[in-house]
Amino acid sequence: MLLIKNGRVLDPASKTDAPRDILLDGERIAKIAPTGKISLANGAEVFDAAGLIVAPGFIDMHVHLREPGQENSETIETGTLAAARGGFTAVCCMPNTKPVNDNASITRFIADRAKAHGHVRVWPIGAASVGSKGEAIAEIGAMRDAGIVAVSDDGKPIATAKLARQIMDYCRTLELPVIEHAEDVSLAAGAVMREGIASTRLGLPGMPAAAESVCVARDVQLAELTGARLHIAHLSAKASLDQVRYAKQNGLRVSCEVTPHHFTLIDEDVTYDSRYKMNPPLAARADREALWQGLADGTVDAIATDHAPHEPALKDVEFDKSPFGILGFETALGLALEQLVHSGKLSLMRMVELFTTGPARVLGKERKLAVSEPADITIFSLDRAWTYNVKESASKSRNSPFDGKSFKGGPAATIVAGKIVYRA
């Protein structure tokens, strides 16, 4: 038994924003009542959440845990510990491991490792095509039965419109969302950042915003053709957002996510430091404004980190030779509070929604604080001052542009299945 008392409970599902105590019994929520109304059972542990926000467990629907295959960069154990420290209670790991998670045995391997070593829940995403090579459809049905929550060829787009159409058709019948890394690979070929004044100044090859939005347009039209659930991963460009908005207005089952780095940084922030290199690359100032708008008005469904660890030796190279991607877990909530809530762009409730019910809905799950629901809870502070020191990260990697950054507010405790897996 664990009693979380004196907290301010925020639950987007029930639109609750009130002082409540929550009693957890084992892996489930046992009771929710106004502060002080739950009498303490014998032997119950107490978490005093005075001055803190108590929310449903955060979900990060786009992460890379690197296991199997690239354990020098991350493992399920280290990655999920970093996730716990970021306030996440569940993460969806992308299939671009080595080997690619394109069959049920890899899916089960990941699920087993997560069960044995994971600090938070791990919901695998299966490859859409065999080896994510864009040729044949992967054994999606078998992977579904093994526990995948979606399919994606993340790291690259589903190679051809024809295959994307077939996968969407198939996944509609399997009730799985298709998550698309939207990129026109010919427009993006050789590029290491967004094309613009900054890339021109730095002499770094750039890809235009259209490298993303052209593919989003393709997929939105295919979603219309197939009726599939399409989710655009790490959406970065205004033109892409406009496509998603159009799709939603027309009743299509299209959703999208935005990363903390895209709503925080822009191409003008890029230096030759490879910690500023990710795909999609940091976008233009106008794109960031559009993302803020989309996060506020509901066009964006989820904040997802695209946590992409790379061991230091891989990132400590020339900018153009570095792999894409940065760490995301531990700074996500701090950045969301700073960029979206403290700045007044979003209500606190809306931000929590983007971390909880938003991604849950995309994945066809529920996320709420209610009796007998899973005891997955994220407790965070709005005002605790702290500084991110990447050397102390739980991740095996160090590739964060936010090293040394000071934050106001962040995770206070992460509770998964009734257990406190992280406490600040």
Partner 1 sequence: MTYRFRDLLALEPLSADELTFILDQSQPFQEIQRHPLKKLATLRGKTVVLAFFENSTRTRLSFGTAASRLGADTMNLQAEASSLKKGETLLDTANNLNAMKPDCFVMRHSSSGAADFVARHLEIPVVNAGDGTHEHPSQGLLDALTIRDRKGTLKNLNVTILGDISHSRVARSNIHLLGKFGCRFTLCGPAMWVPRELEKIGPPGTPIRCVYRVEEALEDADVIIVLRVQTERLHEPSLAQNDYILLYQLNAERMRLAKKDALILHPGPINRGIEITPEVADGPRSAVLEQVTNGVSVRMAILYLLMVGATEGTHPALEVKGETKPKESAHASD
The residue ranges that bind partner 1 (CB under 8 A) are: 190, 195-197, 199-205, 271-273, 313, 316-321
Of 303, 294, 290, 300, the closest CA to residue 260 belongs to: 303
Cβ distance 120 to 421 under 8 Å? yes
Cβ distance 395 to 327 under 8 Å? yes
How near is the Cβ of 317 to partner 1 at its closest, in Å?
A: 6
Q: Which is nearer to partner 1, 285 or 365 (CB)?
A: 285
Cis peptide before 411 (omega within 30 of 0): no
Instruction: Out of 306, 320, 376, 383, pick the active-site residue.
Output: 306
- Strand 254-258, strand 230-232: pairing: parallel
Burial class (CB in 10 A: 0-12, 13-18, 19+), 291: buried
Cβ distance 64 to 325 under 8 Å? yes
Identify the helix (H) or strand (E) that includes residue 194. Answer: strand 193-194
Q: Which is nearer to partner 1, 51 or 404 (CB)?
A: 404
Identify the helix (H) or strand (E) that includes residue 238. Answer: helix 238-249
Active site residue 306: yes
Of 22, 44, 13, the closest CA to residue 372 belongs to: 22
CB proximity list for 271: less than 8 A, separation 6 or greater: none
How near is the Cβ of 4 to partner 1 at its closest, in Å?
A: 40
Cβ distance 114 to 76 under 8 Å? yes
Q: Which is nearer to partner 1, 271 or 387 (CB)?
A: 271
How near is the Cβ of 206 to partner 1 at its closest, in Å?
A: 9
How near is the Cβ of 316 to partner 1 at its closest, in Å?
A: 6
Beta-carbon count within 10 A of 339 CB: 20
Q: Which is nearer to partner 1, 192 or 216 (CB)?
A: 192
Q: Which is nearer to partner 1, 76 or 198 (CB)?
A: 198
How near is the Cβ of 241 to partner 1 at its closest, in Å?
A: 23
How near is the Cβ of 70 to partner 1 at its closest, in Å?
A: 18
Q: Which is nearer to partner 1, 145 or 268 (CB)?
A: 268
Give the residue numbers annotated as catalytic, written as ranges. 306
